Amino acid sequence: MKFGYTIVYVADVRAALDFYQRAFGFATAFVTDDAQFGQLDTGATALAFARHDVAAASLGGEYRPLNADAVPAGIEVGFTTHDVPAAFEKAVNAGATALTAPSIKPWGQTVAYLRAPEGTLIELCTPMG
């Protein structure tokens, strides 16, 4: 088995794709004509977005959507980069909310946290090993 993708359910797929392109430089790999679903070109594991109504239909009922005004959900999306401070600044300038400024962890990794406009918790970090 392999980890294939993550889907973040959002109100506006095109807005999410636009933010992740401006903030992190990911190109849009695919978006449906009706913008119910879109996927970024993020490498071996895809990051995708689908509208809330798609989630409700797929899950057969209600679910708790992300809320940028609420406490972050207990899951994060992690992006690696060799220049965390520059990536952090670019993301904030693109509309991300800063949570934790870049800092060096005891194990030597530089890590920072922010939130995307739809509420996704994002970790920016230097690669390990």
CATH of 5-125, one of 3.10.180.10, 3.20.20.210, 3.30.530.20, 1.10.150.120: 3.10.180.10
- Taking only the tens place, the pLDDT of each residue in 82-112 is 999 999 999 999 999 999 999 999 999 999 9
Assess whether pLDDT exceeds 90 at residue 61.
Answer: no
The phi, psi pair for 93, rounded to 5°, reads: -65, -25
This prediction has a pTM of 0.93
Q: DSSP character for 25?
A: -
- Strand 76-80 versus strand 46-51 pairing type: unpaired
